[in-house]
Amino acid sequence: MFEPVLCCKETDSAPHAKHALESRNFDVTCVVNDDGDIVGQIERKALNQGLVAEYVKDIEEEHKIDENTSLVHLLQILETTESKYVTRDSQIVGIVSRSDLNKPIPRTYLFGVISLIELHVNFWINYYYPNDTWLQTLNKDRQTKVNETIKLRRGSSDYLAMVECAQLCDKKEILRKTPKFLARFRFSKTNFKIFLEKLEIVRNEIAHSQSSITGRLNWEHITRTISKAKEFVGLSDDVIEAESKKKAKDFDTTVLVPVTII
């Protein structure tokens, strides 16, 4: 998802280089020598008269990340800086910035995390309210809305669960009224409400924004929300797996087992 670095030469005019950076809205860029090797970087705000060579600064290791850095880690790194140089075998091969979050791969990743949250939320609603008894926890207007939605979406299909036709705001209210769920995942009513509301904002921006999903959201909002989402999914996975093993304990000789295919 990173971009190639647009470099200037040591022998270039500093005012010309500054104009080039301004026209592309770049704060920094790399500098190459006559052999095409990167020798450092320049900052747009520092450029004045003379040649680019007079303004070259070393590129510290803290300004670089390896190309194999995970997207999750990258989101955390970009929380404190606008961009990083990307290296391959210790050589700079590109640059990645916050704006790259708008590309298809990171957008798909973020939407995937949010979709996982909804799957887990649906599971716990059905867990605590079997046979769709959760519907009675909603007010009459929201019950009507859910019933209208399920009629429109289900059609002739018997496989669409009713909980899938509830809005995220409905699911938030259902689980906020479920003390056992809140205790199990160490949420207060307020914290769970804030978490799902922020998650919904991120989801809406990803789904409806045509250009920049960071235009209306600050970076911390995105990174902290996605980090909390991953934490919840991980814990929920562990709890579900533990519950499944406990229930299957008395059926060790009859449960299905994986077979390795060579």
Reduced 3-state DSSP string for 147-167: HHHHHHHHCCCCCCCHHHHCC
Question: What is residue 51's predicted lDDT score, i.e. its pLDDT?
Answer: 94
Cα–Cα nearest to 30, from 78, 13, 21, 22: 21
Is 3.10.580.10 the CATH number for 8-97?
yes
pLDDT digits (tens, 9 = 90+) for 69-114: 888 888 888 888 888 899 998 888 888 888 888 888 888 888 899 9
What global pTM score does this model have? 0.76
In the chain, the amino acid numbered 8 is C
Q: Collect all residues with Cβ–Cβ distance below 8 Å to 184 and sequence separation of at least 6.
A: 239
The CATH 3.10.580.10 domain(s) of the chain lie at: 8-97
Q: Collect all residues with Cβ–Cβ distance below 8 Å to 174 and sequence separation of at least 6.
A: 125, 129, 134, 137, 138, 166
Q: Which pair of structure tokens corresponds to residue 229? A: 């989402």
pLDDT digits (tens, 9 = 90+) for 117-171: 999 999 999 999 999 999 999 999 999 999 888 888 776 566 778 898 899 999 9
Find the mean pLDDT for residues 241-249: 81
172 has pLDDT over 90:
yes
Question: What is residue 188's predicted lDDT score, i.e. its pLDDT?
Answer: 95
